[in-house]
Amino acid sequence: MKRLLLFTFIALTGAQLPAQVASLKYGDFDHWLSREVKESAILGGATKTLYEVTNATTWKQNKPYVNQGGSPWATSNVLAKVVGIVKTNTSVYPEKRGNGYCAKLYSHVEGVKVMGMVNIHVLAAGSLFLGEMREPITSSSNPQAKMSYGVPFKKKPKAVQFDYKVQLSDKPNRVRQNGFSKVRTVNGKDMPDVYLLLQKRWEDEDGNIYAKRIATMSHRFNHNTDWVNGAKFQLMYGDITSNPGYDAKVMALFTKESEAVKYAYNSKGKLMPIIEVEWGSADDEPTHMILAFNSSFGGAYVGSEGTTLWVDNVKLVY
């Protein structure tokens, strides 16, 4: 009877029901696994700590990590093995916040130098995303092809909500530094970013992955902030190319030629590019959600050392 009266009141007055908010698993970032990885003796043999978002425990294994405890989150913290040398990179950290923790994503230059063998320094951004990272990393080529983006998902949220804090680098321009070619200046100040995509995916008989883009959200953080709590970022459904908020540089469909194309495991266990063939509609049912936070925008090895994004309490709003 109370429910009937409530809906009658809504119908007569035009009032709206309060938004429903759902937390993502481990999206409070209060639980972290610590990986203790011993680097090669030729690098000093130090034990380094890498962090993963899942049940709090310590993992003492020099082997590729796969998601634990049902966690949907992966990070850019990786174990690399190049010409037989074991090296690590950590650019996502847990940081104390109130009675719990948040995620800190940090852009920095990571290097490995062994006289007569290898001398590599790369710009490593902090990335936190729904999906999986494929380890070990054996080269700096095509880093997107080492990540499986997205998780199965069939709902249609209106927005994504989270707490965040931003610290930009004081450098006027970015650099592209991949460890092999000459360090190159990239015009424009570095900024962290976040994007959420809903896709309807399918696979052909050869294992190629295709998708319709059903919903899009992309945002860059262009100024320093203290903690902003409960910030909401709206999703745009369907073909958004005529929407005033559409930015083709960051929101366009992923094609075979796109540098920003994402990869995912197909049914054969092989990482394949996700080719978006068309815009879906608001009536389409998604099969997957991609959600990623990055301390630097602009693609692999591009950014400015010191750019930092803190994230906490990730939720979906319905």
| 226-274 pLDDT, tens digit each | 999 999 999 999 999 999 999 999 999 999 888 889 999 999 999 999 9
Residue 97: the pLDDT is 98
Per-residue pLDDT, 7: 46
Asked if pLDDT for residue 302 goes beyond 60, the answer is yes
pLDDT at 99 over 50: yes
Q: In this structure, is residue 69 part of a structural domain? A: yes
Share of the chain above pLDDT 70, in %: 93
Q: Look over the chain and give the mean of its residue pLDDT values, rounded to a whole number.
A: 93
Q: Has residue 30 got a pLDDT over 60?
A: yes
pLDDT attached to residue 118: 62
Asked if omega into 136 is within 30° of 0 (cis), the reply is yes
For residue 11, is pLDDT > 80? no
pLDDT of residue 1: 55
pLDDT of residue 184: 95
For residue 67, being part of any structural domain is answered with: yes
pLDDT on residue 82: 82
Q: Note whether residue 7 is domain-resident.
A: no
Q: Is residue 212 part of a domain?
A: yes
List pLDDT tens digits, range 132-186. Answer: 999 999 887 888 999 999 999 999 999 999 999 999 999 999 999 988 789 999 9
Any residues with CB less than 8 A from the CB of 103 and at least 6 apart, and which? 29, 53, 92, 93, 94, 95, 128, 293, 310, 311, 312
Within a domain: 107? yes
- The CATH number of the domain holding residue 74 is 2.60.120
47 in any annotated domain: yes
Give the Cα separation of 278 and 264 in Å (integer): 18
Question: Is the model's pLDDT at 278 over the cut of 80?
Answer: yes
pLDDT at 84: 86
Region 197-215: mean pLDDT is 98
| Structural domain boundaries enclosing 220 | 20-317
The full DSSP string for 48-99 is EEEEEESSSEEE--SS-----TT--EEES-EEEEETTEEEEE--EEEEEETT
Total tally of structural domains belonging to the chain: 1
Domain assignment of residue 13, yes or no: no
Q: What is the pLDDT of residue 8?
A: 47
User: 179 or 102: whose pLDDT is higher?
Assistant: 102
Q: Cα–Cα distance between 189 and 86 in angstroms, integer? A: 33
6 pLDDT more than 60: no
Q: Residue 50 to residues 73, 90, 250: CA-CA distances in angstroms?
A: 14, 6, 30
Assess whether pLDDT exceeds 90 at residue 103: yes
- Least confident window among 10-19, 54-63, 77-86, 307-316: 10-19
In whole angstroms, give the CA distance from residue 10 to residue 15: 5
Within-domain flag for 14? no
